[in-house]
Amino acid sequence: MTATVLERPAKPLIQTIGMLSESQQIAVRKIAPHDQARVPTIEAHRPSSIFTGQDRYDLEQARVFRKTAVPVSLSALIAEPGSAVAQDGYGVPLIITRDKRGDIHVFLNACQHKGSKLLETCDPVKTGRLVCPYHAWTYGLDGTLIGAARPETFVNFDKAAHNLKELPARESGGIVYAMLDRHAAADFSGIDPQIALDMEALGLPDAHVYGRKTFRLDANWKLVQEPFLEGYHVQRLHAQSVGPMFADVPNVVDVFGPNIRQTSGKLNFMPSDLDIPGENIHKTVTHAYLLFPNTVVVTSPYYISVMIIMPNGPGKTTVDYAMLTRGPADNPKGEAVYKKSYDMILKVFGTEDFRAAEISHVGLASGALDDVVYSGLEETILLYYKILEGYFS
């Protein structure tokens, strides 16, 4: 008798309001018509040294990036058992694997013989084992040393003492979090269950990775992150691209642990738009998340952008960008839409948002400003800094 293979039903290519989490739906219903939106006025500053100072950078590293778990990869990059991907963006060489049982592991990307990298590319690979290119020591995806070349040449050689160095890690809502310091006590307190529910509702855990690109920027990581916490720049910086699609009004902001969710209606939004049967909710509403401390998730009608923004120094940042879709394109029209979207968003982020961060850093590093001033449309940036600075005490 031939066994029946049950195929998973294909995900709808669009998402309606009813497919969102309950919390997301509540937030969407709070969006006011733009003519009724109240723009706050504030008086707020931050010293420019938070972007340029080595002392501040060292404090962030000690109290946040080396003390708490941070996002290191997307589940979708290693969706299948027998997958691995390297991550170098934090300045710590990592390998993220999904073993044959489907369990996630994060290791230091260093052979336990002479420290050689096992994976030299940050592209995902399908493999059953990790082989050192130097002396061919071989490891399982669970980090176990399977074999060392010419083991008879070592005296008192204990394979179990040479397994890969594993970092505490956890998978939540399609994001893999890990501790970067293997000697630090594991702290996953920044992971919030509501954020996981939201990411699952958006389809992150089993999304299709349409494209990835790494950006290496001459700017402080917070300057790279700031545009995704405010709408003040959108109609100005993006005047020739996506700016005309958005209104100059505040977002609905919710905080879950140290994580921030922003929900906003697009241009000419009206609450009645939410009740159009079968309407793609992402044509009407944009969700922008800041997953603490440094990962941005932004929805669009047919894709989701995810950016892991990794500090490498007061004026150096690596951004690992991925465009996720609900599934691979299954026809030429769908492929054309995805390609056009990918090319457009790389241009918007790469030549507009990231360029703005770099030219801002040049000005701040010159000493021209003692303080940076913030407007009422940038309130969420200050909320983020309040959360971040809470880790310094």
Statement to judge: residues 384 and 332 lie in one domain: yes
Say how far apart CA 127 and CA 38 lie, in whole Å. 54
Higher-pLDDT residue of 243, 177:
177
Statement to judge: residues 27 and 137 lie in one domain: no
pLDDT of residue 109: 98
Statement to judge: residues 214 and 330 lie in one domain: yes
pLDDT of residue 247: 84
Statement to judge: residues 113 and 135 lie in one domain: yes
Statement to judge: residues 224 and 138 lie in one domain: no
Q: Per residue in 323-380, pLDDT tens?
A: 999 999 989 999 999 999 999 999 999 999 999 999 999 999 999 999 999 999 999 9
pLDDT of residue 228: 97
Say how far apart CA 229 and CA 225 lie, in whole Å. 7
User: Is the pLDDT assigned to residue 1 strictly greater than 60?
Assistant: no
| Domain edge (last residue) among 178, 201, 233 | 178
Say how far apart CA 130 and CA 145 lie, in whole Å. 9
- Alpha carbon 189 to its chain centroid, in Å, reads 17
Which residues on adjacent β-strands are paired with residue 212?
322
Q: Per residue in 208-255, pLDDT tens?
A: 999 999 999 999 999 999 999 999 899 899 999 998 888 888 899 999
Query: Please, are residues 21 and 289 in contact by the beta-carbon 8 Å criterion?
Result: no
Higher-pLDDT residue of 40, 217:
217
| Percentage of the chain exceeding pLDDT 70 | 97
Say how far apart CA 326 and CA 15 lie, in whole Å. 9
Statement to judge: residues 323 and 209 lie in one domain: yes
User: How many CB atoms sit inside 10 A of residue 281's CB?
Assistant: 23
Q: Per residue in 92-132, pLDDT tens?
A: 999 999 999 999 999 999 999 999 999 998 999 999 999 99
Average pLDDT (160-173) is: 97
Task: Read off the DSSP letter of residue 220.
Answer: -
**Domain total of the chain:** 2
Task: Answer yes or no: is 265 within a domain.
Answer: yes
Write the CATH number for 79: 2.102.10.10
Statement to judge: residues 255 and 383 lie in one domain: yes
Considering only CA atoms, which of 157, 168, 96, 156 is closest in space to residue 125?
Answer: 96
Supply 267's token pair. 């241009």
Residue with tokens 């990790």: 130
| Domain edge (last residue) among 178, 212, 236 | 178
Statement to judge: residues 97 and 169 lie in one domain: yes
Statement to judge: residues 166 and 201 lie in one domain: no
Report the helix count and the strand count for the chain, using DSSP H and E. Answer: 10, 20
In angstroms, the first-to-last Cα distance of the chain is 66
* Amino acid at residue number 10: A
Task: Answer yes or no: is 225 within a domain.
Answer: yes
Say how far apart CA 298 and CA 296 lie, in whole Å. 7
Statement to judge: residues 164 and 196 lie in one domain: no
Task: Answer yes or no: is 264 within a domain.
Answer: yes
pLDDT of residue 262: 97
Task: Read off the DSSP letter of residue 51.
Answer: H
Least confident interval from 87-96, 268-277, 380-389: 268-277
Task: Answer yes or no: is 184 within a domain.
Answer: no
User: Is the pLDDT assigned to residue 7 strictly greater than 80?
Assistant: no
User: Is the pLDDT assigned to residue 6 strictly greater than 60?
Assistant: no
Q: Assign 3-class secondary structure to 55-82.
A: HHHHHHHHHHHCCCCEEEEEHHHHCCCC
User: Which range marks the domain in which residue 137 is found?
Assistant: 73-178
Q: Per residue in 272-281, pLDDT tens?
A: 989 999 999 9
User: Is the pLDDT assigned to residue 45 strictly greater than 50?
Assistant: yes
Task: Answer yes or no: is 197 within a domain.
Answer: yes
Task: Answer yes or no: is 240 within a domain.
Answer: yes
Statement to judge: residues 217 and 168 lie in one domain: no
Residue with tokens 């000493």: 367
pLDDT of residue 367: 97
| Percentage of the chain exceeding pLDDT 90 | 89
pLDDT of residue 62: 98
| Domain edge (last residue) among 178, 198, 220 | 178
| 3 state DSSP class of 131 | strand
Statement to judge: residues 80 and 108 lie in one domain: yes
| 3 state DSSP class of 110 | coil
User: Is the pLDDT assigned to residue 3 strictly greater than 60?
Assistant: no
Average pLDDT (290-315) is: 98
Write the CATH number for 209: 3.90.380.10
User: Is the pLDDT assigned to residue 50 strictly greater than 90?
Assistant: yes
Task: Answer yes or no: is 320 within a domain.
Answer: yes
Average pLDDT (65-72) is: 98
Alpha helices (runs of H) in 231-351, residue ranges in sequence order = 234-237, 281-284, 332-348
User: Is the pLDDT assigned to residue 2 strictly greater than 60?
Assistant: no
pLDDT of residue 245: 86
pLDDT of residue 10: 65
Average pLDDT (27-48) is: 92
Task: Answer yes or no: is 8 within a domain.
Answer: no
